[in-house]
Structure 1
Amino acid sequence: MTTITAHSPAQPLAHEHPARMNFAERVPEYYRAMLRLEQEAARGVDPVLYHLIKIRASQINHCAFCLDMHTKDALAEGETVERVVQLGAWRESRHFYTERELAALALTEAVTVLTDGFVPDEVYAAAAEHFDEEELARVIGAVVVINAWNRIAVTTRMTPGHYTPRSAQ
């Protein structure tokens, strides 16, 4: 017989790492500036696309806190479970996404990883086919902002599992 024991989100499991610091408390002005940057990054980007960008970058960066937050937000705002689940394998699951979303996902990966030190011309050109210059600049900004949040959350070991979307509160 298998027994499943629930744990309190306030108490991490033995294998979980405790949070290192509360970033917002230590540098509140910086944190507020990040929130303002987030608001500006979201302006002008389709909310559905913005969720996909945040989730995909967070997957790549292994940011459990941001994955918890952004998948919950996306689902609360009407995104399908199927599209969220398939996002990690979007190249193999292309039929779930629009061409515009696919171009943004490829750009998200290229900007997030930068393994070759640059964003490939073909990835940028594909995105430029689906977005005008202002939209493309906003998509790039959205990718940059979620990468910054991921780095803060991963470095400070923000603990996932406690977030409740505003629409569910």
Structure 2
Amino acid sequence: MTGVNLSKQHPSVYKSLMKLDADVKAALETAGVGPLLVELVKIRVSQLNGCAFCLRMHTRDALAKGETTDRLAVVAAWWEAQYFSDQERAALALAEQVTALAVPERRTWDDGSLTGEQVSAISWLATVMNAWNRVAVTSHYPVAP
């Protein structure tokens, strides 16, 4: 067996993940995390997880919401680029920490640019994005031109 489409094999579990995703979206809105920052976090988590399906989807979403190609081009090395605000840098570092829990060297993200509510909402965003990446990669979602 080369792979199983998780969403089709267990649709009720997939629907539960969709509900969690909607709850996280509401938490992000309540916490005042903007839509471009949400897409940047989704893109960075997907880069770390090697999820081509989610990378393509969220890059397109970010562009549609007004993100620039320059910022998207350097999000994989955000810490070296001056394109990102302190809040964006903190959110990207936090998302990396949530995604790569076993990495001993962690970036300092707790510089006061995120509220406690934003830290929680972004942590949930990274958690749910990790789940989506694993569904897409495990299910071998096609990514063709």
Find the counterpart in structure 1 of residue 48 from structure 2: 60
For 1:125 and 1:96, locate their aligned partners in 2 and report how far apart those are by CA, in whole Å.
19
Find the counterpart in structure 2 of residue 16 from structure 1: none
Name the larger-Rg structure: 1
Q: Which amino acid aligns with 2:96?
A: E
Gaps of 5+ in 2: none
TM superposition outliers: structure 1 runs of 4+ over 4 Å:
none
Give the drift of 1:132.
Answer: 1.7
Give the drift of 1:124.
Answer: 5.0
Identity of aligned residues (%): 38
* Backbone CA RMSD of aligned residues: 1.9
Give the drift of 1:161.
Answer: 3.8
Q: 8 Å contact 2:89–2:109 — kept in the other structure?
A: no
Find the counterpart in structure 2 of residue 100 from structure 1: 87
More helix by share: 2
Find the counterpart in structure 2 of residue 156 from structure 1: 139
Deviations 1:60-107 (A, max 9, x none): 1101111011101111111111111110111111x1111100001111
Find the counterpart in structure 2 of residue 24 from structure 1: 7
For 1:24 and 1:112, locate their aligned partners in 2 and report how far apart those are by CA, in whole Å.
22
Pair 1:114-2:97 in alignment: no
Find the counterpart in structure 2 of residue 71 from structure 1: 59
For 2:144 and 2:17, locate their aligned partners in 1 and report how far apart those are by CA, in whole Å.
22
Pair 1:131-2:114 in alignment: yes
For 2:94 and 2:115, locate their aligned partners in 1 and report how far apart those are by CA, in whole Å.
14
Give the drift of 1:20.
Answer: 2.4
Q: 8 Å contact 2:90–2:114 — kept in the other structure?
A: no
Please report the TM-score for the alignment, with normalisation by the length of structure 2. Answer: 0.87
Gaps of 5+ in 1: 1-18, 163-169
For 1:53 and 1:116, locate their aligned partners in 2 and report how far apart those are by CA, in whole Å.
18
Pair 1:46-2:29 in alignment: no
For 2:115 and 2:128, locate their aligned partners in 1 and report how far apart those are by CA, in whole Å.
20
